[in-house]
Amino acid sequence: MEALNEIKKFLLCETPDAWVKKALANQNTLLIDHANCEKKAAGTALNLLFRYIDKPALLNKISKLAREELRHFEQVIAIMKKRNIEYVLVEPCDYAGEMRKKCANHEPQKLIDILIIGAFIEACSCERFAKIAPHLDDELRAFYESLLQSEARHYQDYLTLAQQYAQKDISERIRHFAELEKSLILRKDPEFRFHSGVPAN
């Protein structure tokens, strides 16, 4: 898949094998946190729709994205129900939160940063789906592989919008968040989550 190759170039590191091993040993937590991630992605998209009502291109792309994220959420909880996995409270890791701390607090740079961060989150998700899918049972493998195209498209949509509204080169800002994202993926994390770093134990 060409988009996946593009994403691997966009990210500065791949998902560590230690994360894959931990995910395979904790598939209930993987699915629960995956459901949470889809829900949060939809929430982020809806926040953009309410905050930036004067941007038609954003409204068009992001409204579609929000619908897809909610559909993915429904698909994950359906798989959980089928497998008798209780949807319990799981505290999120601070992957997205740490990146959002580095957002500018003034417009239009704040919007540009939010969109760039959105691109990284979607890119990381896509790369992780591709990394873990071959090791899963048939049902989960097919489901995760089915998500690759939409996650790749979401990554591209966020990045395209960031470039459009910046109206200038954003490569330096992308590099800034790429370095931060890499540090979060490669750091030791005490808790396993969908976007957590290297398992500490």
pLDDT band, very low/low/confident/very high, at 3 (cuts 50, 70, 90): confident
- pLDDT of residue 1 exceeding 80, the answer is no
The predicted model gives 179-190 an average pLDDT of 96
Lookup result for tokens 């792309």: 61
Take residue 201 and report the two structure tokens written for it.
Answer: 């134990």
Identify any residues that bridge with 188 across adjacent strands, giving them in sequence order: 198
Report yes or no: 197 and 19 within 8 Å, Cβ to Cβ: yes
- pTM score, whole prediction: 0.96
Report yes or no: 159 and 115 within 8 Å, Cβ to Cβ: yes
SS3 63: helix
Q: Which residues of 164-176 are buried (b: 16+ CB within 10 A; e: fewer)?
A: ebbeeebeebbee
User: Which residue would you say has higher pLDDT here, 3 or 158?
Assistant: 158
Determine the Cα–Cα distance for residues 99 and 106; give it in Å rounded to an integer: 16
CATH number of 2-189: 1.20.1260.10
Give pLDDT tens digits for 111-144.
Answer: 999 999 999 999 999 999 999 999 999 999 999 9
Domain segments of the chain: what residues?
2-189
